Chain A
Amino acid sequence: MRPIPIRRLLAVLVATTLLAAACAEDGEESAAAADCEVGQTDGDLNLYNWAEYIDPDLVDAFAAEHGIEMTVDVYDSNEAMQPIISAGNSGYDLIVPSDYMVAILIAGEDIQLLNKDAIPNIANISADFSDLVYDPAGDYSVPYQWGTTGLAVDTAVVGTDFPRSWSIVFDPSFADQYAGRISLLNDPRETLGAALKYLGYSLNTTDTGELEEAKELVSEARGRVAAFDTDQADELLTTGETAIAHGYSGDMFTQFLETDDPSRYVYFVPEEGGTRWIDNMAIPHDAPNPCTAHTFINWILDAENGAALSNYNYYSTPNAAALDGLEQELLDFVADPAVIPGGVGSLEEIQDTGDFEINYTDAFIEAVG
C-alpha cells in the first residue's frame, strides 16, 4: 500500500463533505411555530441551562408529572452555549440565554418561534417584562429569571458611610485607600459598562470617544484592582481577599447568606445606574421535542413552580403570580429600595452592538494589559 491512494481517498472524502454541506444549506426548516397543545409532550426533555439554576426537585417533579425523562446539562457562558446551538444537532430542547444573546440567536435563526397558545401561563409574566428590546413581542423567548449587576461592599472594612456610586472603584481619591482589595468583572461589556455609567454615558454606546474614556478609566483602575474575576468575585469578598466587588445580584445575595453575619455586606446598583439582565427560556431551531419544551415553559411559569424556582436559585422572578410564594429573605432583598438607589429607570440591558463588540473586547484587553 502506498500513500497515494490515501491522498485520493481524502480528496474524495473532502469533496463529498463539501457537496453534502452545500446540499444541507437548502434544507432549512420553515419559520412556523411548533404545532403543540397545552400540556402536550412529544418525547423526553433535554434542558441546557446555567449550573444550579433549577431545583433538581423541580426537574424530578416535571418528569414524573408528564411521564418523561428529563436531562439537565450546564454551561458557564452564553458564548459557549451559542455556537453549540448554532452549529445544529445539539440535541437540546430548551436553552436559557441572556437578553442580548436572545437577539443574536434570533438573528442567526437559531431559536424557533414560540406557540403562545401552548403557553397560557405566559399571562403570569409581570408587565415590567413586556416590550423587551431584544425580543419586543416575546415571540421567541420567555423570561426565566432576572437580576442586576452592581457593587458589593464589606462594611467591616469600608464602613457604611460611603457613596452609593461607581466612584468607590473609579475615583482615586476614594478608591486608592482600598488598592489591592477591589475586584471588577472579567467581562468587557460589564466592566466598561460600569465605567461608561460612571461617566454618564449609556452602557450600550457605540461612540468610540466615549468608549475610549471608559477604557482610560478602567486602565487607571487596574493598578488598584486585585483581580478581574467574574466567577469568584463573591467568594473573594466574603473570604476577605477583597473589600469591594463588582458582581451579580443573586450571586452576592446567596454568598452573603452563607456567612455568619450577612448584614456585614451590602449589595447595591450605583446611583449612576447599572445593568439589568434577564435570562430567558428559548427553544433551539432543531429541538427534537419542541412540544415537551413548550409544556415545560408553561409549567415553570405556574405560580407555585415559579416561586420554587426563585426560592432555590435566589434570583428575582419575572413571574408576578409567583411573588406571593417567595421566601421572606428573598422578598426583603428584592423589595429593598436601597439596592437600586437610582431607581429601575437607571438600569439598562446590555444589547448586542454588532460590529462594535470587537471595539469593546479590544478596549477591555488594552485596559487590562
Chain B
Amino acid sequence: MTLTAVPPPSGPGPGGAGAALLEATPEFERAAARADSRRGFLLSLPAYVYLLLFFAIPFGIVVIYSVATRNTIGGTDLAGWNLDSYRRLAEPIVRDILFRSLWIAVLTTLICLVVAYPFSYFIATRTPTVRNIMLVFVMIPFWTNFLVRNYAWRVILGSDGPFAAVTEALGLGRQEILFTHSAVILGLVYGFLPFMVLPLYAAIERIDGSLIEAGRDLYASGAQTFRRVLLPLSMPGVLAGSILVFVPSLGAYVTPQILGGGKSTMLGSYIVVQFLTARNWPLGASLSFVLMTVMLTATLIYFRAGGRNL
C-alpha cells in the first residue's frame, strides 16, 4: 500500500468515500457532508452516551464538591459555595510538589520513549506471528499483581539486592538506589513502558517498509532516514504514548511510596492525601479539576501541534 500525506488527527479528513462519489454539485456536496456528519455522530454515539452518563455526570459531582466546604468532621457541606479551596492551590507547598512531579514525569516519559522506540520498531518488523507473541509477552508481566511487582523491585533495589551486585560487577560501584528519586523513576518507567510500547507499535507497524528503503536510498544515512521518514510517520504513536505515560506518572502514588519511601510528595500522593488522610474533599476536588483542565488543554494542543508537524 502507498502512503499519502497525513492529515491532522482530528482535522478535516476527506470524510469517507461518500464525498468522493458525490462531488458533482454543491447540493450533493452538502448532502454528503450532512450524511457524513450523521454517520460520524452515530458511530460516536454509544461511547458518547456512555461517557456522558457514567463519566460526565459523576464528574459534575466533583466540580460541585470543589466549591464546597470541608466541615469540622471532614464531611463536605455543599451549601454556601466558595472558592477557598482554589485559593489554597497558590500555596508554595503545592508549587514545590508540582515542579517535582513535573520533572519526574517528564523524565519518565523521555526514558520510556527512548527505550520503547527501538523496541517497538523491532517488534513491528518481525513476522506477524512473532510480533503477536512478542507483544503478548510484553503484557504478561503486567497481569501479575501491581503491588507484588513493586515489592519485587524493592527487593531488587534494596541494600542486599541484585541491583547493587550488578552495578558493582559492572564497575559502577554499589548503587543502593532504594528510597531515592532514581528508584521512583525506575519504578515508573517499568510500570508505564507498555503504555508507550503499544501505541508506538500500532503506529510503526502500519508504515510501509518500502518507504524506509526509499528513504535509505535518498538520504544514505540511517539517522536521517529515521528523522525524516520513520519518526514523522510514527508521530501519532509517539504522541499517544507520551500522553499515556506522562499523565499517569504525574498521578502515581503507590510507586513513589514503595520505592521512594514516601519522602518526596508527588502530585498523585498529594491528591490522595487530601481525599483519604485530611478528608478534605473540596481541596482534593479543586486540585483535580485544575490539574485536569491544564492537562486537557495541554493534551489537545500537543496533539494539534504534533499533527501539524507531520
User: Is there a contact between chains A and B in the complex with CB atoms less than 8 Å apart?
Assistant: yes
Question: Taking the complex as formed, is A186 at the interface, i.e. its CB lies under 8 A from any CB of chain B?
Answer: yes
Chain A residues with Cβ below 8 Å from B158 are 239, 241
Mark each residue of chain A from 337 to 369: 1 if its CB lies under 8 Å from any CB of chain B, else 0.
Answer: 000000000000000101101101110011011
In contact, A361 and B48 (Cβ under 8 angstroms) = no
Mark each residue of chain A from 94 to 107: 1 if its CB lies under 8 Å from any CB of chain B, else 0.
Answer: 00000000001001
CA distance A349 to B154 in the complex (A): 33
In contact, A358 and B70 (Cβ under 8 angstroms) = yes
In contact, A1 and B41 (Cβ under 8 angstroms) = yes
Chain A residues with Cβ below 8 Å from B120 are none
Question: Taking the complex as formed, is B6 at the interface, i.e. its CB lies under 8 A from any CB of chain A?
Answer: no
CA distance A17 to B48 in the complex (A): 20
Chain B residues with Cβ below 8 Å from A17 are 57
CA distance A1 to B35 in the complex (A): 11
In contact, A1 and B38 (Cβ under 8 angstroms) = yes
In contact, A362 and B70 (Cβ under 8 angstroms) = no
In contact, A222 and B263 (Cβ under 8 angstroms) = yes
Question: Taking the complex as formed, is A277 at the interface, i.e. its CB lies under 8 A from any CB of chain B?
Answer: no
CA distance A86 to B75 in the complex (A): 9
Question: Taking the complex as formed, is B270 at the interface, i.e. its CB lies under 8 A from any CB of chain A?
Answer: yes
Within 8 A of A (CB), among B217-263: 257-258, 261-263
Q: Which of B75, B159, B263 lies at the interface centre, i.e. has the most chain A CB atoms within 10 A of its CB?
A: B263
In contact, B72 and A369 (Cβ under 8 angstroms) = no
Question: Taking the complex as formed, is A14 at the interface, i.e. its CB lies under 8 A from any CB of chain B?
Answer: yes
Interface residue SS majority, chain A:
helix
Task: Write the chain A residue with the least CB distance to B154.
Answer: A232
Whole-angstrom distance between the Cβ of A141 and the nearest chain B Cβ: 16
Task: Write the chain A residue with the least CB distance to B265.
Answer: A365
In contact, A6 and B48 (Cβ under 8 angstroms) = yes
In contact, B48 and A241 (Cβ under 8 angstroms) = no
In contact, B277 and A79 (Cβ under 8 angstroms) = yes
In contact, B74 and A228 (Cβ under 8 angstroms) = no
Whole-angstrom distance between the Cβ of A83 and the nearest chain B Cβ: 8
In contact, A79 and B57 (Cβ under 8 angstroms) = no
In contact, A14 and B264 (Cβ under 8 angstroms) = no
CA distance A188 to B278 in the complex (A): 9
In contact, A227 and B261 (Cβ under 8 angstroms) = yes
In contact, B93 and A362 (Cβ under 8 angstroms) = yes
CA distance A227 to B27 in the complex (A): 70
Within 8 A of A (CB), among B16-72: 38, 41-42, 45, 48-49, 52-53, 57, 60, 70, 72
On whether A368 and B279 interact (CB within 8 A), knowing A3-B41, A86-B75, A107-B73, the answer reads no
Chain B contact residue count (CB 8 A cutoff)? 40
CA distance A187 to B264 in the complex (A): 14
On whether A369 and B264 interact (CB within 8 A), knowing A13-B57, A17-B57, A241-B159, the answer reads yes
Question: Taking the complex as formed, is A85 at the interface, i.e. its CB lies under 8 A from any CB of chain B?
Answer: no
CA distance A186 to B263 in the complex (A): 9
Task: Write the chain A residue with the least CB distance to B52.
Answer: A10
Chain A residues with Cβ below 8 Å from B159 are 240-241
Whole-angstrom distance between the Cβ of B7 and the nearest chain A Cβ: 23
Q: Pick the contact of A225: B96, B97, B263, B276 (CB < 8 A).
A: B263
Whole-angstrom distance between the Cβ of B147 and the nearest chain A Cβ: 9
Mark each residue of chain A from 171 to 203: 1 if its CB lies under 8 Å from any CB of chain B, else 0.
Answer: 000000000000100111000000000000000
Question: Taking the complex as formed, is B106 at the interface, i.e. its CB lies under 8 A from any CB of chain A?
Answer: no
In contact, A227 and B74 (Cβ under 8 angstroms) = no
CA distance A354 to B70 in the complex (A): 10
Chain B residues with Cβ below 8 Å from A79 are 275-277, 279
Question: Taking the complex as formed, is A80 at the interface, i.e. its CB lies under 8 A from any CB of chain B?
Answer: yes
Task: Write the chain B residue with the least CB distance to A354.
Answer: B72
In contact, B73 and A361 (Cβ under 8 angstroms) = no
Question: Taking the complex as formed, is B153 at the interface, i.e. its CB lies under 8 A from any CB of chain A?
Answer: no
CA distance A186 to B154 in the complex (A): 17
Task: Write the chain B residue with the least CB distance to A185.
Answer: B262
Interface residues of A (CB under 8 A from B): 1-3, 6, 10, 13-14, 17, 77, 79-80, 82, 86, 104, 107-108, 183, 186-188, 222, 225-229, 232, 239-241, 352, 354-355, 357-358, 360-362, 365-366, 368-369
Instruction: List the 5 closest pairs (A to B, CB-CB), nearest first.
Output: A227-B261, A361-B278, A228-B262, A354-B72, A79-B276
Selected A-B contacts with CB under 8 Å, 26 pairs: A1-B38, A1-B42, A17-B57, A77-B276, A79-B279, A104-B73, A104-B74, A108-B75, A188-B277, A226-B179, A228-B261, A229-B257, A229-B262, A239-B158, A240-B159, A240-B160, A354-B72, A360-B278, A361-B277, A361-B278, A365-B93, A365-B270, A368-B262, A368-B265, A369-B96, A369-B264
